[in-house]
Structure 1
């Protein structure tokens, strides 16, 4: 446990390990004028690429994870472009809002929020259509549904459609099929257990080519300024703006923790703790929201509560000093969510949370 009595078991922001908090308090170097920052940033990107398991370019932007969702759309979509938005939850639907905001035409393929996508249905949609891109979410955090995207991504790849995937709640906690994703989005405050404030991305060569061909109508939410970032050996880097250096220190410490443990070991830990959480929930009469075990995320479990989620959330906090989350939107009072990602993918923390929930339900 850390030095805080209250146990934060939300699916992001997660509890931040003490050594990561300590890293954030390190003496600053100036990323705009000190040559040392080039090597610091270069090393950070190399570690991040290992977690992404990609040879594509990786970027870190100053801004909470939502920045990545908008920046990817703003950078790839021009007015009049058709974009296929696969949606089985709030964040999948949210991509459509960004598409419309930047002048594109969103074609939304909705499926039930407790189910996944069918590659054959996607193939039918993209046949004889000229989509500029397709967007989707790997882990829909509000419902705890982990979408199996392998066949869907292969279908879109075969059709020549650029793919944008929100992996904010899965990156670093479970394998992400980055090799088939053109823009893969992550964030500091989920499975990486770093403070909120940074967006991470991997960007394929095909995506960069589209960025170059797309007229950019924004700066801060555009990827274009990051394409030609230089990190000289003995000079300061050439960045579009001053980076959030303290957040970068924290992210580097988080990546070090993950890599020291070993990526595969981290994935196994998440799977085991998630199984523990679901089994305890079922013992208490609570069923996961996802329609099948294969769709249950290893990073967050959403339990069906039939209109009592806010009551349970309140009692867990007031009686047991444990903070969990409820659902969002229409499911705000029907879903109770336990985050077991990153630092919180810990058997002792999950056991304490589920013991407290057993007391609340008794």
Structure 2
């Protein structure tokens, strides 16, 4: 290993730009009594709206991305509600566990891991089960698959089924179809290149109506207290003391993203992804699903060598991730998202992988 700083190229958490690290070290404001934090939070929501590409309400919660996923489920369902869980990967299937733990009745609509969802098949599932809510994942990070959701979301819209979409690994790195999403879930540690610790949610008017109607069993995982914080009359009435330093870091990372320009950021991710896969093919490696490969992460098929290669690449000063579950030994994942969607970083990563393969 050379004397350069270790390069973390996992699919989240990502490396942090210097300005983001510096922002997190700022002296904090007390969010409960100082209006300056309310003003910062209000600005955060405005910037997030540009990143999401939506006029829907935005919420920033203290906690890693899983807090957002569970909050989305808890806030929309109550005991006995049928929830359609679209699953072609670990995280899609994991929604069913969250639904069940909050008293709902999950119905899993599965698809092959290398395939997306057929809107007509989803329509049939909706007609058969009449769900109140449907859950799905935009980018299945463990396999590097980006699901095409437009047709599915249109079906759900037509049948008044509320949608909860995990866009944690795609938000800020590629277009997210927010126009038909009722709760769109993001997190700071992926394409936004901010530290782990905050979850972001877009919330449609229809979702708010259901939030107000259902009986929820949690306070911390409940969206209702976030609906009217009094942001125009600071200090706002936050439900709990917010993660101030993480908000400073997110603000700095959003500034970088918006200064570069949303479309330019998406193009940078696409170029880094294509370069990564070209280098992989030169080494005899193919993405797990070439047709649905995400611009934010590449999962190379390595047939039982994932952990061995991960360890060898680490000796070259680069940190990668293996697959999860049944693919733990068969996939090696490169996260080219956020700050790491960079040709030079990808080249250093693939040089290390080349050395490991030798």
For residues 4 and 148 of structure 1, the distance between their equivalents in structure 2, rounded to whole angstroms, comes to: 39
Partner of 2:260: 261
Matched, 1:361 2:357: yes
- For normalisation by structure 2, the TM-score amounts to 0.98
Q: 1:4 to 1:156 in 2, by over 3 A?
A: farther
Question: Runs in 1 of length 4+ with deviation above 2 angstroms?
Answer: none
- Aligned mates of 1:348, 1:70 — CA distance in 2: 37
Q: Secondary structure at the match of 1:164?
A: strand
2:298 pairs, out of 292, 301, 310, with 301
Are 2:320 and 1:324 aligned?
yes
2:347 counterpart of 1:351: yes
1:165 aligns with 2:165: yes
Aligned to 1:274: 273
- Residues 1:263 and 1:4: Cα distance change in structure 2 (over 3 Å): farther
For residues 272 and 232 of structure 2, the distance between their equivalents in structure 1, rounded to whole angstroms, comes to 43
Query: 1: distance between equivalents of 2:9 and 2:95?
Result: 27
SS at 1:353's partner residue? helix
Distance, in Å, in 2 between the alignment partners of 1:129 and 1:158 is 15
- The RMSD of aligned alpha carbons is 1.0
Q: Secondary structure of the residue that 2:14 maps to in structure 1?
A: coil
Match of 1:245 in 2: 244
Counterpart in the other structure of 1:90: 90
**How far apart in 2 are the matches of 1:223 and 1:278?**
40
Structure 2, unaligned runs of 5 or more: none
Tell me, yes or no, if the aligned pair for 2:86 and 2:109 is still in contact at 8 Å.
yes
Deviation, 1:4, is 6.6
Residues 11 and 141 in structure 2, CA contact (< 8 A), matched pair in contact too: yes
1:65 equivalent to 2:62? Answer no
> Which of residues 308, 311, 315 in structure 2 aligns to 1:314?
311
Deviations along 1:295-316, one digit per CA (max 9) or x if unpaired, are 1100000000100000000000
Give the CA deviation at 1:218: 0.5
CA separation in 2, counterparts of 1:155 and 1:238? 38
- State the alpha-carbon separation in 2 of the partners of residues 262 and 232 from structure 1: 28
Shift of 1:128: 4.8
1:358 Cα deviation after fit: 1.0
Distance 1:16 1:248 in 2: 14
Q: Is the partner of 1:296 in helix, strand or coil?
A: coil
Call closer, same or farther: CA 1:4–1:360 in 2, change over 3 Å. closer
**Cα deviation per residue 1:273-329 (whole Å; 9 max; x = unaligned)?**
000001111111111001x43x110000000010000000000002x1100000001
Distance 1:200 1:216 in 2: 20
Q: Secondary structure at the match of 1:349?
A: helix
**Aligned partner of residue 13 in structure 1, secondary structure:** coil
> Could you say if the C-alpha distance between residues 219 and 4 of structure 1 is closer, same or farther in structure 2, counting changes exceeding 3 Å?
farther
Unpaired runs of at least 5, structure 1: none
| Larger mean Cα displacement after TM superposition, 200-209 or 31-40 | 31-40
TM-aligned CA deviation for residue 127 of structure 1: 1.5
Change in 2 beyond 3 A, CA 1:4/1:102: farther
Q: Give the Cα separation in 2 of the matches to 1:245 and 1:360.
A: 41
What is the DSSP-based 3-state SS (H/G/I as helix, E as strand, rest coil) of the residue aligned with 1:312?
Answer: helix
Equivalent position of 2:37 in the other structure? 37
Residues in 1 aligned to 2:346 and 2:134: alpha-carbon distance in whole angstroms: 36
Distance in 1 (CA, whole Å) between partners of 2:69 and 2:14 is: 20
| Equivalent position SS for 2:298 | strand
What TM-score does the superposition give when structure 1 sets the normalisation length? 0.97
- Distance, in Å, in 2 between the alignment partners of 1:237 and 1:75 is 21
Aligned equivalents of 1:266, 1:128: Cα separation in 2: 41
